[in-house]
Amino acid sequence: MERKSVLVVGGSGYLGQHLLAALAAGGEVDVAFTHHRDTAPQPLLHALPGLRAFRVDLRSGDGLRAVSDSFGQPHVIVNCAAISVPRQCETDPAAAMATNVPSSLVTWLLSFGNDNTLLIHLSTDQARDNRGSYENPEFIGYLLIYAFVVYIVTSKCRKFLLLILPSHSLVVPVYEGVKSFYKEDDETLPVNMYGKSKVAAEKFIIEQCSNYAILRSSIIYGPQTISPVAKSLPIQWMDNVLSQGQQVQFFNDEFRCPVYVKDMVDVVLSLTKSWLADGKAVQVLLNVGGPDRVSRLQMAESVADVRGYSHSIIKSVSASSVDRGVASPPDISMDITKLTQMLGIKPISFQDGVRATLAAEAST
């Protein structure tokens, strides 16, 4: 019986390393991963000696031929690779599009000439646009309508106005705020280049691939990786700054549904096992987040509660008080009903995820 194989693209990153550890622990498939640096992370290779590592440049596709020559056609490809820092994408949009839209990877996949591979692609919750601000073209439209209505009022046409407003509710989006808990089929209107590049990737994969699972992930948090990643991890960073006892500012008006990394891994493993078991066609887009809609402020408060820090050092501020050099959507919380119904996976609460993260850090 043919042994199955899984290739994790971007396996040296945060999610990639957690996924590699889980696949290696299962021992049921041959596992390889790609990395973009000159050498693969040595701690990762030492801890998981059965892995195959390949250096690949996703922008050009250099290195992919070596994968097929040595590892063959993977039964599953999990694409975790991306330029995921919004500011970096904003300053170099060409690199963001070249890396985040996996054109070379998909071209290589199609070169096998069959439908025997499932592509699992990591996307983002930042595909959404729910700005109630002047950056949003839809909002500008509502604003123009509102200005026209005001003009009618000042032109002594109040009776005409009263006939229009109850039936059409033209200015409701301005006053009721932003939408929460987006579904997979809601419109995508990203506010920054990172989101735009990920939406372009989704469209490209849907158009080109026969079998795919696109996972729109929220913030992924959890324990550090085998080979520590360079980027700051959210829970660990909050724990570190709060432990110093100095007042720290956290945004109170940007909301996400952070997902614990082991739940994210379980989603990928579930899709992988199902595909390897029956090979039935897969074309699915899933929101993957935790069950809780939380702000950065609430995230910090959860860390403080677990650690026993005083809430007095947590200062609540608006996101508009800081210029981050890139637009950020205020509420991209997600509805994960489809995920739980399709895969039977129920992600743990944010509070439990914080406890698990900090417990894992304490044990290492």
**DSSP character string of 225-272:** PSS--SSPPHHHHHHHHHHTT--EEEESS-EE--EEHHHHHHHHHHHH
User: Does residue 71 have a pLDDT over 70?
Assistant: yes
User: Does some domain include residue 171?
Assistant: no
Q: Taking the CA atoms of the chain, what radius of gyration do you get in angstroms? A: 23
Give me the count of residues in the chain: 364
92-149: pLDDT as tens digits: 999 999 999 999 999 999 999 999 999 999 999 987 655 443 344 443 343 343 333 3
Q: Tell me whether residue 144 is in a domain.
A: no
Provide the residue range defining the domain that includes 62: 5-129+177-226+257-290+334-348
87, amino acid identity: R
**Does pTM top 0.95 for this prediction?**
no
Q: How many domains does the chain have?
A: 1
Which letter does DSSP use for residue 349 in this model? P
* CATH code where residue 88 lies: 3.40.50.720
H-type helices in 72-136, by residue range?
86-91, 93-100, 103-110
| pLDDT for 62 | 98
Domain presence at residue 205? yes
Which H or E element spans position 77?
strand 76-79
Any domain includes 143: no
Q: Contact at 8 Å (CB) between 322 and 87?
A: no
Name which of 83, 10, 14 is nearest 53 in CA terms. 10
Cα–Cα distance measured from residue 87 to residue 100, given in angstroms and rounded to the nearest whole number: 14
For residue range 171-213, what is the model confidence (pLDDT) as tens digits? Answer: 222 212 257 999 999 988 889 999 999 999 999 999 999 999 9
Residue 116 lies in a domain: yes
- Residue 23 domain-assigned? yes
What does the pLDDT average to over 225-247? 96
What is the model's pLDDT at position 127? 75
